[in-house]
Amino acid sequence: MSAALLTLDQLNAMDAAAFKAALGPVFENAPWVAEGAAKLRPFTSLTALHRAMIAQIAARPEADLIAFLRGHPRLSPETLRRGTTAESRAEQTAAGLNALDDTTVAKLDALNAEYEKKFGFPFILAVRRASLPTLLATFERRLTASADAERAEALMEITAISWMRLLDRVRPAPTGSVSTHVLDTVRATPAAGLGVELWGHDADGKAICLETFMTDANGASGRDLLEGRLKPGQYEWRYDTPTYFASKGYPTTARSFLGKVSVAFSVWNPEEHFHVPLLLTPGSYTTYRGS
């Protein structure tokens, strides 16, 4: 996983062997996925490339699909001791599977054995985005699934794993951005003149303020933010709601309950637009991913 990201233009210009070498590890022990995608170039976005790679898997007959699932390693300390791919080692180590206590190891071993006996392939989860409690809870839930449902969920997890591995290797197209829009639902009007900050994290994980502005007459950011600069990761909108409600004549007791409202959100695909609406009152707020 090199720090120097490839561009889409570079990938499109590579010969088939170089393309396969660059993207072969994106899918665990399955370089044939990249080999098939190489024939479908050029790609104008990382999203299109990923979809083409997933399509290579979906087109395989059932026996090949099961073999592909069986090519994934167990999520366990034993896997790390015996050795696995560099990508899987990094992901499992980052999830803390190399530092479990004996009780948790025994529980995980039992879950793995039960799962593999029932479904015939290892339990697959995008552990880079899962805490240990999430891992164990997901394991126990999925043990109750039907064979068809579990196969589908395993493939969805592989979709997530492969997307993160692609982002480790290839620079996404500069098409993503973020925006927000706030409605004052007590006054039934846009929340114009509301102070807003957009926060993100630098390479070391330190929170930094990326943008500061006042909402426009429509209660909105007025423009798409971080165009060409959006990266995958965690972001947060911070709204100065106490000052806004004070300017509208709400008394102290009414405007002090929420304090400054913060809405954290994740950018999974930095080629997409992420719009965050906020429906606001002095005593409550509602948010969702908008369009």
- Residue-wise pLDDT for 40-91, tens only, equals 999 999 999 999 999 999 999 999 999 999 999 999 999 999 999 999 999 9
Tell me, yes or no, whether 138 and 32 share the same domain.
Answer: yes
- Note the pLDDT of residue 125: 98
Tell me, yes or no, whether 17 and 161 share the same domain.
Answer: yes
* Domain limits for position 201: 177-287
- Residue-wise pLDDT for 219-246, tens only, equals 999 999 999 999 999 999 999 999 999 9
How far apart (Å, rounded) are the C-alpha atoms in residues 37 and 117? 33
- Note the pLDDT of residue 3: 60
Tell me, yes or no, whether 43 and 118 share the same domain.
Answer: yes
**Is residue 262 predicted with pLDDT exceeding 60?**
yes
- Note the pLDDT of residue 77: 96
- Residue-wise pLDDT for 190-219, tens only, equals 999 999 999 999 878 899 999 999 999 999
**Is residue 291 predicted with pLDDT exceeding 50?**
yes
**Is residue 2 predicted with pLDDT exceeding 50?**
no
Tell me, yes or no, whether 140 and 211 share the same domain.
Answer: no
The pLDDT mean for the chain works out to: 95
**50 flagged as catalytic:** no
113-140 as b/e: b if 16+ CB within 10 A: eebeeebebbbbbbbeebeeeebeebbe
Is the CB of residue 245 less than 8 Å from the CB of residue 255? yes
If pLDDT is split at 50, 70 and 90, which confidence band does 135 have? very high
Run of H or E residues at 244? helix 241-247
Q: Supply the CATH number for residue 247's domain.
A: 2.60.40.180
Tell me, yes or no, whether 192 and 247 share the same domain.
Answer: yes
Q: Which two tokens stand for residue 174?
A: 């500069």
Catalytic, out of 50, 72, 201, 273:
72
**Is residue 277 predicted with pLDDT exceeding 60?**
yes
Run of H or E residues at 276? strand 273-281
Tell me, yes or no, whether 269 and 151 share the same domain.
Answer: no
Q: Supply the CATH number for residue 134's domain.
A: 1.10.3330.10
Tell me, yes or no, whether 274 and 133 share the same domain.
Answer: no
